[in-house]
Amino acid sequence: MKRHRFVVKQELAAGTLEVGDSGIVRQMARVLRLKVGDQVELADGRGSQALATVVEVLPQSITLEVAQPQFVTQSNRRTVTLYAAIAKRENFEWIVQKATEIGVARIVPLQSARTVKLGIKMDRLRKIAQEAAEQCGRADVPEISEPMAFDVALADPQKPAQNFFFDTSASEHADFSGASTLGIWIGPEGGWTGEEVSAAEAAGCRIVSLGSLTLRAETAATVASFLAVGG
């Protein structure tokens, strides 16, 4: 039987752990109706996970006995940062969810020239990433960076050395072989402007294609993430 998994924003160590996060408490006690003696899996969102046994259920907290944590090394072939132009709320949330499930390490919302919707709720995106990590079995949760303007992102000090900039006009297909850490760039529904493509190329990005078909932004982000992480 598969155990339920929770990402807690607390350091994991062998011994007693009291969880007071209202969302987790509600899920454990009211939705799943866990009882004393039930076992769950805990992760700290940074790569450590442990088996835990419920020892007390209170209205505002759950106490667990935590076994010795283990650090989990992800099996991804590559560490990927996804730079994605902000899309409509539900579409961008979908991008965050799927990128997390695929194994992307960091997600950067981009404000590009043709970005239509700029307002995103960071708390909600981070919650979606946490829930997706729990669902897919990740012990870590991808970093969701604060939104960046396009030119700021090109100068991002955390930007990987190798970057693949997807544009429908490109003739070169993406080839991630030989790269272990990389960035992928996905534009808005209206596409990148010519100035943005030129700026990306000048900044050292490789201008590449995902194929002859024109994909929706959320589809392109998912396909590119999958290929980049393990393709």
Q: Average pLDDT of 35-48?
A: 90
What's the rounded Cα separation, in Å, for the pair 207 and 173?
9
The DSSP symbol for 215 reads -
Of the listed ranges 27-31, 44-48, 78-82, 154-158, the one predicted with least confidence: 44-48
Residue 63 has pLDDT above 80, yes or no: yes
Determine the pLDDT at residue 112. 95
Residue 113 has pLDDT above 90, yes or no: yes
64 and 83 both lie in a single domain: no
Q: Yes or no: say if 23 and 31 are a contact pair by the CB < 8 Å rule.
A: no
Domain termination residue (choose one: 48, 71, 94): 71
Cβ burial 64-101 (10 Å sphere, 16+ → b, else e): bebeebeeeeeeeebbbbbbbbbbeeebbbbbbbbbbb
151 and 46 both lie in a single domain: no
Q: Average pLDDT of 153-166?
A: 95
Alpha-helix residue ranges (DSSP H) falling in 104-169: 122-136, 150-154
Residue 155 domain boundaries: 79-230
Question: Model pTM?
Answer: 0.85
Into how many domains does the chain fold?
2
Q: First vs last Cα of the chain: how many Å apart? A: 31
Q: Yes or no: say if 86 and 67 are a contact pair by the CB < 8 Å rule.
A: no
CATH number where 177 lies: 3.40.1280.10
Q: Average pLDDT of 47-76?
A: 88
9 and 105 both lie in a single domain: no
Give me the half-sphere count of Cα atoms (radius 13 Å) on the Cβ side of residue 186. Answer: 30
83 and 197 both lie in a single domain: yes
Determine the pLDDT at residue 95. 97
101 and 204 both lie in a single domain: yes
Instruction: Tell me the C-alpha to C-alpha distance, in Å, between residue 228 and each of 50, 86, 108, 123, 156.
Output: 29, 20, 16, 26, 20
The DSSP symbol for 45 reads B
